[in-house]
Amino acid sequence: MKVEGSALKYISTIISDVLTVFDAVELSELMKEFINNVPKDRLTKQKLKCIDELVHSELFTNPDCRQILLPMILEQTKTLMDEKKEEADKRDELEDCINVLSDIMDVTFLKDNGNCVSVLMSILRQMTETHYRQYIEEFPYSIDLRDFLMEILMLFQVLVSNPVYPSDWMDMIMLQNSIILRALRCFAQTVHDNFSEPFEEQLWSCFFHCSISFLTQRALQLESFSQSKRNKVINRYKDMRRETGFEIRQMWFQLGIHKIYFIPALVGPILEMTLIPETELRKATIPIFFDMMQCEFTQVDPVTRKIRANFQQVENELIIQLDALVEGGCGDEEYKQLMYDILYQLCCGHSTIKEQGIVFVEIIKTLLQRLLEYRNIIQNEIKEHRMSCIVNLLNYYHDIGRQEMYIRYLYKLCELHLECDNYTEAANTLLLHVNLLQWSDDNLPLMLQSNWYPDSHTHRELKEQLYYNIIQYYDKGKMWEKGIQLCKELVNLYETELFDYERLSFVLKRQADLYSCIIKELRPDPEYFRVGYYGRGFPEFLQNIVFIYRGKEYERLSDFNARMQTLFPNAELLKTLSPPSDEIKESDKQYLQINAVAPVLELQERFKDKPVSDKVLKYYTVNEVQKFTYSRRMNESESDIAKMWLERTYLTISYPLPGILCWFPVINTELVRVSPLECAIETLESTNKKINSAIEQHALEQVISVQNLGMLLNGVVDASVNGGISNYKVRSSTYAKQIISVQNLAVLLNGAVDAFIFYADEYGKSEEDMQLVIKLKELTRNQLFLLKEAMAIHKRKCAENMRPFHAHMEERFEEMCNLIKSEYNLKVPENSYMNTLKRFKSMSAVSLSRVSEAFVSITGASPEMNYATPVTRTSTPNRTPSVFVRAEKTQSSNSLVSPSKGLQQKVSSNLQNIFNINLNKRASFATSEHSSDGSGGSNRNSLEHPIELSEQACNLSFI
């Protein structure tokens, strides 16, 4: 018995393998004999299971095998169903037999129904309108006629949705469609005549859905055929889509007061019909939407008993369905314009609906434009373009208040960012969803729900989940400051609202970790690039628009250029930064104009007049910025440094970077002229800042190498590195002017104190110029002091094999001091300046080790509870350089400004006056590139030199 049961259970599993070496018909005979030999009263359940598996085997699909197996199966099931047994056993066997018979019908239907359909179509083909009318009149009751019409309409819908004939049987399919179309015409008249009063909503709905399914079936889409095949079909059957569309239009307008029953249910199907690329069909059916709008507008609200005076249902459904259908491949530019023209004209001709209608029509037109752009781009492998199109749709849905669509595209954008490892942008994208949520336990509306968080049912639950994910993404993107802001919100929630101290402790640990990362983790500064897309060869959303891009980690101008050329292999790089001509803008080609730009810091109020760590402030120098700048020489051929003016461009973008994209368009451009003297001052300030930062770093980190410090000092004190001081010659006593060659322009622009042309007392004709000269001299004096301090540090820490190099720098520094003192009457600072740096150290009165010891003593020296000890990820010292950031004030050259309370010493008036300059004027610009070319006639803004803008450093109003 056990062996027989196992044989019945597993024999069907070997059929496919046996068929490879055995005849199928002979195997069927063996299977028939095997099952018939099973005793009738034993293993009934196992036998029925074996028969059911046999029905689904390869043998049963073979007609010859089926002729052998099917009689045996029917005999077995008939015997079991006729047997008299106890009620429980009988019920189980009947259920198993019914399942077997049902599976037989499922398997054989698709193969054998073609003949049945052919017979039905042959009958309908012979029928004329008179036959249809006579047959319909034979029904004694309307309910029987209604049931017949619904059944035949549903059958037609199944036949066109799931064809029984192969797709290449075109003649048979088109013949079937022509027969169904003639039947639909007859049934349409019957539905209207017999079921308008009383109104049968279900039957009318069945007719509309059947007719639209018929019209949109794949076999009737003639545009997918070859021209010869299309002509053949039209000549024999005409375009059946057009005729069906006219029938649907007629039936719709015959609904009368019953139209409201089909709003908004029929908006989607009718929209799908209007999207068929047949102009006459579109012209005939698009007005149905206006009729729907008018119908809903005049409908009386059952609650208020007033006219609705809106068409929100039609509007909402049309937008939702349009989004899905266009993304799926429907629609084109012709449809967009045709729909706009027809609906706009109809709205203008209706006094009541005109105002709202025109607004709605404009919304639909713009939405179609965005959707068509997105559909064209999603097939492209360039994910950046897909992101741009998604943001366009995102913003548009936000503007028109479609939250459900807004959130749908929001997560599409987030998913793309994660695929590209843009964690910061992914976090910023999810923040848009957070902004729609509240810290409450209200149930989450359907339009605010997300498939990413199916278990979140309230505002607070979803917002918490989003916060944790966003903090994680910010951590991966090294945007720890943004993560800290969210941690603070969670701390407030758990501490003051939920009193959940367990989660509070976790969030505080996470927050402490993020703070530690700011000080101890390596975070490369991102580069920013200006990209102009000129020419009509680009996608429409890029044409003749300038963007600011945020580069990837360690991505320089040359790398960025290569990436853009990979995205646009046919684009031509413009060699200059001059505005392109109209000919370039209107050409069919693609032109790219790329250069590096520097972010302009807008100092936050909380940092003003306070000592701030350089690592803390550095984040705000290159992040959360919306304004950028770059400079170029106004006259490329000018070699006289006293006449070498710069044109500085300030660019404002639509949103701060980083944002939900790695780029944003420029919305405002401002040009400013920078005098040679201002340029020299900015350059010296930049160099002084670098030297000062290096001195502080070495003062705090004793084990740091002096290699970088030596390179920095050598570039300043050794004139031969930057062209040579010996090339300067006094030419005019009026301005104590010196002739300087273009080759030696780098001496000034690389930060050395060799800009002697501006040191003459006679230089400058205005009071403003005189003040700038005074400032320049102060900067020079302080640079000499900083150099002297840095040289002392280098001497103390350099290795023995570096002594000759240091001696060389000492000699050059002495020559520099003597030259400045003898020829330009600038006194070298004495040791009284030695305590200046100490005034700019941001130090707490208690050391980190003492803080750690205090918390350890409180917690019993438990390692896991020592929250005050910073999380150490890298082996770096605890102290970091800091700067004193002062607010913008107007001071005279001799005024004294006191820093904020807490500093131990006051800053000398001369040093404070050095950095008292407007932040906007000191936005970074390229210093080294201005001297990179040796020829006076070269274009310094060309991409071949990756221009004077490639290594810009933001110069702030601090040391």
Q: CB of 390 within 8 A of CB of 659?
A: no
Q: What's the CA gap between 117 and 119, in Å, rounded?
A: 5
Average pLDDT over residues 575-597: 92
Lowest mean pLDDT among 14-28, 575-589, 851-865, 881-895: 881-895
Predicted confidence (pLDDT) per residue in 908-930, tens digit = 333 333 333 332 333 333 333 33
Helix (H, G, I), strand (E, B) or coil at 94: helix
Q: What is the pLDDT of residue 761?
A: 56
* pLDDT confidence bin for 243, thresholds 50/70/90: very high
Predicted confidence (pLDDT) per residue in 92-130, tens digit = 778 888 888 888 877 776 555 567 788 889 889 999 999
* pLDDT confidence bin for 830, thresholds 50/70/90: low
* pLDDT confidence bin for 418, thresholds 50/70/90: very high
Q: What is the pLDDT of residue 848?
A: 57
Q: What is the pLDDT of residue 825?
A: 66
Q: What is the pLDDT of residue 245?
A: 95
Q: Is the pLDDT of residue 846 over 80?
A: no
Q: Is the pLDDT of residue 9 over 90?
A: no
Alpha carbon distances (Å) from 613 to 258, 620, 880, 958? 73, 12, 7, 11
Q: For the chain, what's the residue count?
A: 959
Largest distance between two CA atoms of the chain: 131
Q: Which of the pair, 934 or 401, is modelled with greater confidence?
A: 401
Predicted confidence (pLDDT) per residue in 633-674, tens digit = 877 666 666 677 888 999 999 999 999 999 999 999 999 988
Give the helix/strand (H/E) hosting 759: none
Give the helix/strand (H/E) hosting 79: helix 63-82
Q: Is the pLDDT of residue 903 over 50?
A: no
Q: What is the pLDDT of residue 956?
A: 29
Predicted confidence (pLDDT) per residue in 451-476, tens digit = 899 999 999 999 999 999 999 999 99
Q: Which of the pair, 147 or 940, is modelled with greater confidence?
A: 147
Nearby residues of 176 by Cβ (< 8 Å), 6 or more positions away: 117, 121, 159, 165
Q: What is the pLDDT of residue 119?
A: 83
Q: What is the pLDDT of residue 639?
A: 62
Q: What is the pLDDT of residue 95?
A: 82
Q: Is the pLDDT of residue 14 over 50?
A: yes
Predicted confidence (pLDDT) per residue in 253-276, tens digit = 999 999 999 999 999 999 999 999
Q: What is the pLDDT of residue 3?
A: 76
Instruction: Please identify which residue in the block is written with the tokens 């819908």.
Output: 157
- The mean pLDDT of the chain is 80
Average pLDDT over residues 711-723: 70
Q: Which of the pair, 168 or 286, is modelled with greater confidence?
A: 286
Sign of CA dihedral 549, 555, 561, 565: negative
Q: How many CA atoms lie within 13 A of 805 on its CB side?
A: 16
Q: What is the pLDDT of residue 856?
A: 55
Predicted confidence (pLDDT) per residue in 877-890, tens digit = 444 444 444 444 33
Percent of the chain residues past pLDDT 90, beyond the cut: 44
Q: What is the pLDDT of residue 923?
A: 33
Helix (H, G, I), strand (E, B) or coil at 240: helix
Predicted confidence (pLDDT) per residue in 179-205, tens digit = 999 999 999 999 999 999 889 999 999
Q: Which DSSP category does 906 fall into?
A: P
Average pLDDT over residues 425-453: 93
Q: Which residues of 746-767 are buried (b: 16+ CB within 10 A; e: fewer)?
A: bbbbbbbbbbbbbbbeebbeee
Predicted confidence (pLDDT) per residue in 273-318, tens digit = 999 999 999 999 999 999 999 999 999 888 888 898 999 999 999 9
Q: What is the pLDDT of residue 852?
A: 61
Q: CB of 64 within 8 A of CB of 32?
A: no
Q: Which of the pair, 728 or 295, is modelled with greater confidence?
A: 295
Predicted confidence (pLDDT) per residue in 941-951, tens digit = 333 333 333 33
Helix, strand, coil share of the chain (percent; to 5): 60, 10, 30
* pLDDT confidence bin for 632, thresholds 50/70/90: confident
Q: Is the pLDDT of residue 82 over 50?
A: yes
Alpha carbon distances (Å) from 834 to 686, 792, 827, 837? 20, 11, 16, 7
Q: What is the pLDDT of residue 669?
A: 93
Instruction: Establish whether the linkage from the previous residue to 899 is cis, with ω within 30° of 0.
Output: no
Q: CB of 649 within 8 A of CB of 670?
A: yes
Q: Is the pLDDT of residue 478 over 60?
A: yes
Q: What is the pLDDT of residue 850?
A: 59
Q: List helix spans (H) across 442-500.
A: 459-476, 480-492
Q: Is the pLDDT of residue 4 over 70?
A: yes
Q: What is the pLDDT of residue 879?
A: 40
pTM (global) more than 0.85: no
Radius of gyration of the chain measured on its C-alpha atoms? 41
Q: CB of 870 within 8 A of CB of 516?
A: yes
Q: What's the CA gap between 907 and 835, in Å, rounded?
A: 10
Which residues are bridge partners to 875 per DSSP?
A: none
Predicted confidence (pLDDT) per residue in 17-66, tens digit = 888 888 999 999 998 888 888 887 777 888 888 888 888 888 888 888 98
* pLDDT confidence bin for 728, thresholds 50/70/90: very low
